């Protein structure tokens, strides 16, 4: 085996083995936690499996929940290629949903064709999300403001804007104790994939992840972005438009999250209200990190996280556990996963001698 | 109604009262984060620590009947989270910002999980000192009902300023934060200094959380903290890593948070939710104005990842 193929396989083996190990360690830790509060971990994991992937019904539920996660994770994964940590996808999702309603309601009211309305809504959602997160990229580049903190602060601002709009200017007078915008109407909603209880948003999410992967790993644009991510100074020296790349990539990420918001309002809720801020944006950060910021790996990880989320209801009913149980599992998983980052390039996998690969595999420290 | 007696004068008064009341958690988290960041590490997980402290403090106060035991337990819970953050970040190639986000999620999740039984019962509150005894106006009296923790926080800010400037420990923390290599050359272990700084920072954030549940708003529920912890982290940058400025900034943020409810009390209900966003918008605005892409922020620790 040549040194090159060894390197390739060694890295691939690592990229699969380390997250798997992290997942196993987290499962043991979480099992210990639930055992400490008096729940049988084996029974819990069996229930989780059943609630997530055990039946066709639960599979559909899982995919339904994975749909927004696919898109929202891109909001973290794409800027990460540039070395940025964006954690404000929730804000882009919320505003994307709101903008989609703002654009779609007048069209639906005027009786516009369904497909036109949906395309305009998607465009509005992507534009709103793109501008929102793109702003954090611009602030980072122009003023050196940390995109991590600015994007997170903007989540709270976005939620306030949503509340303001659904309580005031966009409120449907008929929505009494749960203020909402008017409903878009069944005819204008995104339907299900034929033969399934899963809406088209899932397909859209998968397509976006694949497109993002191709863009980042098989185009010059993506190569330039990743080069800047590796070393900004080298990127500048090579004449790359660093500022434009930063703004464009953050905009793309935000547009994906904005589209997730559009899908939530037009496939799930039918209207915009406070339930839009359901925490998908924050789970998306975890998905992106678990996928090691690779848009293609986002697909299976989002399905896994969607499954964990989908099983939450069953855990509540059967084991009488609080709804935060899923959050605890996610938190443990996230912490263990980040700690496992330290193993990359140091793990001695039995098949390959990684010692020879050390200098290259350690990458950017 | 009594509010009407003061009319519009009630607004600035309510803002001042709110500034004092609401600023305390901001103050404690930002002082804790200031210490952590001075040592060269950023802990975004303090939001989770705050929520955890609020839950643990409330639960302890309810079970033991002593609010001060609650404050102490909240602080220790915060210390445990600080230790966790420090231990994981000391591993090579681990990103401290990401670990912070993870701990934010874990802390919030654990607090919601373990805090379920404490949503209904009432725990004893922290006492307040009545500085408004000289006045007959009820609003002034209630505005000057100042909690002891606020006073402790204010004194702590001054003490920390002095500590960073003139004590050996303060100098070591600053040196580790500015250049780990220099500290290593002098024979100090940066990771150990950061561990103590992060633990102390976590302790303070936990105490800040206990104020939320034990004084104002004064009960435990899942909507208790809406980003105060993270706002406080941003606040440290705005305060240029100066503990005394952290104190002023916390007052400013407390005031901004009180503006919406104060205006609502005099009948201005338009844009109530937008006023809720005031502290976050203010933080963002100030960060934009205070930063520059060309030079480093004055006072920024050299090893800090958010300013590099």
Residue B297 φ/ψ region, left for φ over 0, alpha for ψ in the -120 to 50 degree band, beta for the rest:
beta
Least confident of A45-54, A221-230, B228-237, B260-269: B260-269
CB contact under 8 A, A328 and B106: yes
CA dihedral for A81, A86, A91, A95, sign (positive or negative): negative
Phi, psi (degrees; rounded to nearest 5) at B130 = -90, 95
* Neighbour tally for A22: CB within 10 Å: 21
Name residues 204-233 of chain B within 8 A of A (Cβ). 226-227, 230-231, 233
Q: Give CA–CA dist A336/B103, Å, rounded.
A: 10
Which tens digit of pLDDT belongs to each residue from A306-328? 999 999 888 999 998 998 999 99
At residue A144, the pLDDT reads 85
Distances (CA, A) of A149 to A56, B288, B306: 41, 11, 9
CB contact under 8 A, A150 and B91: no
pLDDT of A182 above 70? yes
Which tens digit of pLDDT belongs to each residue from A145-180? 889 889 989 999 999 999 999 988 888 888 888 889
Q: Give CA–CA dist A159/A276, Å, rounded.
A: 9
CB contact under 8 A, A289 and B230: no
List the one residue out of B34, B36, B40 whose CA is nearest residue B242.
Answer: B34
Q: What tokens were used for B284?
A: 């963002």
Q: Read off the pLDDT of each residue in A115-137 and give the average, rounded to a whole number.
A: 97
C-beta of residue B233 within 8 angstroms of C-beta of residue B117: no
pLDDT of A354 above 60? no
List the one residue out of A134, A49, A133, A18 whose CA is nearest residue A87.
Answer: A133
Q: Give CA–CA dist A5/A1, Å, rounded.
A: 7
Percent of chain A with pLDDT over 90: 65
Q: Give CA–CA dist A110/A98, Å, rounded.
A: 19
Phi, psi (degrees; rounded to nearest 5) at A261 = -65, -40
pLDDT of B186 above 80? yes
Q: What tokens were used for B208?
A: 């800040």
Residue of A22, A143, A160, A339 to mutate when probing chain B, most B C-beta within 10 A: A160
Q: Give CA–CA dist A184/A332, Å, rounded.
A: 39
DSSP H or E segment with residue B146: strand B145-147
pLDDT of B221 above 60? yes
pLDDT of B3 above 60? no
Which tens digit of pLDDT belongs to each residue from A18-37? 888 999 999 999 999 999 99
Q: Read off the pLDDT of each residue in A7-12 and give the average, rounded to a whole number.
A: 72
Quick check: B202 contacting A, CB < 8 Å? Answer: no
At residue B146, the pLDDT reads 87
At residue A349, the pLDDT reads 60
Task: Give the ipTM of the model, two decimals please.
Answer: 0.89
CB contact under 8 A, A338 and B95: yes
Band of residue B56 on the pLDDT scale cut at 50, 70, 90: very high
Task: Please name the residue of chain A whose CA is at the shortest distance from the CA of residue B229.
Answer: A153
Q: Read off the pLDDT of each residue in A184-208 and give the average, rounded to a whole number.
A: 91
Q: Read off the pLDDT of each residue in A42-71 and give the average, rounded to a whole number.
A: 93
List, in order, residues 6 or more apart from B241 with CB less than 8 Å away: B34, B37, B38, B299, B300, B301
Contact list in A for residue B234 (CB cut-off 8 A) is: 149, 153
pLDDT of A358 above 70? no
B203 CA to chain A: closest CA distance, Å?
20
Cis-peptide, bond into residue B107, ω within 30° of zero: no
Quick check: A31 contacting B, CB < 8 Å? Answer: no
Band of residue A127 on the pLDDT scale cut at 50, 70, 90: very high
At residue B308, the pLDDT reads 55
Task: Please name the residue of chain B whose CA is at the shortest distance from the CA of residue A146.
Answer: B306
List the one residue out of A306, A236, A270, A241 whose CA is nearest residue A72.
Answer: A306
pLDDT of A363 above 60? no
At residue B115, the pLDDT reads 93
Band of residue A359 on the pLDDT scale cut at 50, 70, 90: low
pLDDT of B168 above 90? yes
Name residues 70-89 of chain A within 8 A of B (Cβ). 85, 87
At residue A282, the pLDDT reads 86
> In whole numbers, what is the pLDDT of chain B averaged over residues?
88
At residue A365, the pLDDT reads 40
Band of residue B30 on the pLDDT scale cut at 50, 70, 90: very high
Residue of B253, B257, B293, B301 to mutate when probing chain A, most A C-beta within 10 A: B293
Quick check: B112 contacting A, CB < 8 Å? Answer: yes
Q: Read off the pLDDT of each residue in B70-79 and give the average, rounded to a whole number.
A: 97
Q: Give CA–CA dist B149/A191, Å, rounded.
A: 55
Identify the three-state secondary structure at position A192. Answer: strand
Task: Summarize chain B as % helix, strand, coil (round to 5).
Answer: 75, 0, 25
Q: Give CA–CA dist B153/B159, Å, rounded.
A: 10
CB contact under 8 A, B281 and A167: no
List the one residue out of B177, B160, B287 whose CA is nearest residue B236.
Answer: B287
Identify the three-state secondary structure at position B211. Answer: helix
Identify the three-state secondary structure at position B33. Answer: helix
Band of residue B288 on the pLDDT scale cut at 50, 70, 90: confident
Band of residue A114 on the pLDDT scale cut at 50, 70, 90: very high
Q: Give CA–CA dist B248/A351, Å, rounded.
A: 59
Band of residue A6 on the pLDDT scale cut at 50, 70, 90: low
Closest residue to A157, CB basis, from B113, B277, B291: B277
> In whole numbers, what is the pLDDT of chain A averaged over residues?
89
């Amino acid at each position: 085996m040549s040194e090159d193929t060894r390197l390739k396989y060694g890295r691939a083996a690592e990229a699969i083995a380390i997250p798997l190990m992290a997942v196993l360690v987290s499962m043991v830790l979480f099992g210990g936690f639930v055992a400490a509060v008096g729940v049988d971990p084996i029974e819990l994991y069996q229930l989780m499996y059943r609630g997530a992937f055990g039946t066709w019904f639960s599979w559909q539920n899982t995919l339904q929940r994975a749909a927004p996660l696919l898109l929202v994770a891109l909001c973290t994964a794409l800027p990460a290629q540039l070395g940025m940590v964006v954690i404000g996808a929730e804000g882009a999702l919320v505003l994307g949903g709101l903008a989609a309603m703002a654009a779609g309601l007048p069209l639906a009211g005027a009786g516009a064709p369904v497909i036109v309305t949906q395309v305009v809504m998607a465009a509005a959602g992507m534009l709103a999300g793109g501008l929102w997160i793109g702003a954090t990229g611009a602030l980072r580049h122009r003023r050196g403001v940390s995109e991590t903190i600015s994007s997170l602060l903007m989540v709270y601002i976005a939620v306030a804007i949503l509340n303001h709009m659904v309580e005031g200017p966009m409120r449907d007078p008929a929505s009494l104790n749960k203020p909402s915008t008017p409903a878009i109407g069944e005819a204008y909603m995104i339907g299900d994939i034929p033969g399934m209880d899963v809406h088209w948003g899932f397909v859209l999410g998968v397509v976006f992840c694949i497109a993002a992967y191709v863009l980042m790993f098989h185009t010059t644009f993506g190569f330039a972005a990743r080069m800047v991510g590796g070393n900004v100074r080298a990127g500048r020296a090579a004449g790359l438009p660093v500022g434009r790349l930063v703004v464009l990539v953050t905009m793309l990420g935000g547009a994906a999250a904005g589209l997730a918001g559009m899908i939530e309002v037009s496939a799930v809720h039918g209207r915009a209200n406070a339930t839009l801020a359901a925490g998908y944006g924050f789970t998306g950060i975890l998905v992106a990190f678990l996928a090691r910021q690779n848009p293609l790996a986002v697909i299976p990880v989002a399905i896994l996280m969607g499954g964990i989320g989908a099983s939450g209801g069953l855990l509540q009913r059967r084991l009488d556990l609080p709804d935060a149980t899923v959050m605890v599992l996610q938190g443990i998983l996230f912490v263990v996963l980040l700690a496992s980052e330290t193993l990359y390039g140091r793990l001695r996998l039995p098949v390959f001698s990684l010692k020879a690969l050390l200098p290259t595999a350690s990458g950017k420290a | 109604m009594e509010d009407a007696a003061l009319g519009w004068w009630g607004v600035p008064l309510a803002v001042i009262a709110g500034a004092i009341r609401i600023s305390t958690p901001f103050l404690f988290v930002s002082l804790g984060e200031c210490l952590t960041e001075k040592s060269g590490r950023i802990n975004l997980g303090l939001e989770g620590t705050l929520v955890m402290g609020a839950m643990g403090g409330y639960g302890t106060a309810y079970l033991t009947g002593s609010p001060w035991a609650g404050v102490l337990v909240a602080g220790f819970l915060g210390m445990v989270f600080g230790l966790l953050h420090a231990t994981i970040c000391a591993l090579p190639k681990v990103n401290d910002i990401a670990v912070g986000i993870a701990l934010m999620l874990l802390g919030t999740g654990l607090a919601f999980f373990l805090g379920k039984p404490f949503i209904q019962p009432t725990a004893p509150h922290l006492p307040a000192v009545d500085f408004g005894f000289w006045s007959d106006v009820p609003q002034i009296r209630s505005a000057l009902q100042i909690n002891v923790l606020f006073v402790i926080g204010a004194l702590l800010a001054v003490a920390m300023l002095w500590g960073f400037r003139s004590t050996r420990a303060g100098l070591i923390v600053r040196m580790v934060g500015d250049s780990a290599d220099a500290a290593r050359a002098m024979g100090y272990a940066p990771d150990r200094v950061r561990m103590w700084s992060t633990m102390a920072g976590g302790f303070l954030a936990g105490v800040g959380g206990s104020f939320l549940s034990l004084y104002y708003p004064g009960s435990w529920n899942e909507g208790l903290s809406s980003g105060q912890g993270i706002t406080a982290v941003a606040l440290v940058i705005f305060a240029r890593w100066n503990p005394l400025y952290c104190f002023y900034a916390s007052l400013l943020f407390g005031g901004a948070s009180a503006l919406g409810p104060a205006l609502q009390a005099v009948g201005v209900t338009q844009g109530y939710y937008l006023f809720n966003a005031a502290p976050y918008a203010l933080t963002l605005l100030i960060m934009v104005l205070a930063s520059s892409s060309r030079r480093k922020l004055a006072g920024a620790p050299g090893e800090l990842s958010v300013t590099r």
